[in-house]
Amino acid sequence: MERAAFLLKVREDKMEEYKQKHTEIWPEMLDALQRHGWRNYSLFLAEDGQMFGYVEAEESIAKSIEGMAGEEVNLRWQEFMGEYFEQLSGRPDQSMVSLEQVFYLE
C-alpha cells in the first residue's frame, strides 16, 4: 500500500457545482476506482478553490493511475470535470501536483 497526496485548483466560480457533482459520482466510476486499488480516497476543498486529495493505493499510486487511464468511464469523467479546474495541463488526472510525504504517524 502507498499513501499519496495531490493538489489541484478548482475554479472559485465552480466550487458549489464541483461539490454537487461529487455527491452524484457515477457508480461505474466508483467501481473502476475500486478495481484499480484506490482506497481511503478523500478530497478536501479550501475556500479559495485549492483542493487537496489523499488516497491509499493498493499497490502503488502509479499503478492505480495507470489502470484508471485505460478505463473509458474515467476518460469520460475527466472530460466532464475538466471545466471545474484552473491551470490544467491535460486532463485533471494528468494535472495533479503530487506532494512528497515528509511525516507519518500511525
pLDDT for 99 equals 95
Altogether, the residues listed in the chain come to a count of: 106
To which residue does cell 478530497 refer? 43
Average pLDDT, the chain: 95
pLDDT for 73 equals 98
87 contacts 9 by C-beta, under 8 angstroms:
yes
pLDDT for 12 equals 96
Low-confidence ranges of the chain (pLDDT < 70): none
Residues with a catalytic annotation lie at: 22
Per-residue pLDDT of 48-64, as tens digits, reads 999 999 999 999 999 99
Q: Domain residue spans in the chain?
A: 2-99
Residue whose C-alpha is closest to residue 85's, from 19, 4, 18, 16: 18
CATH architecture, range 2-99: 2-Layer Sandwich (3.30)
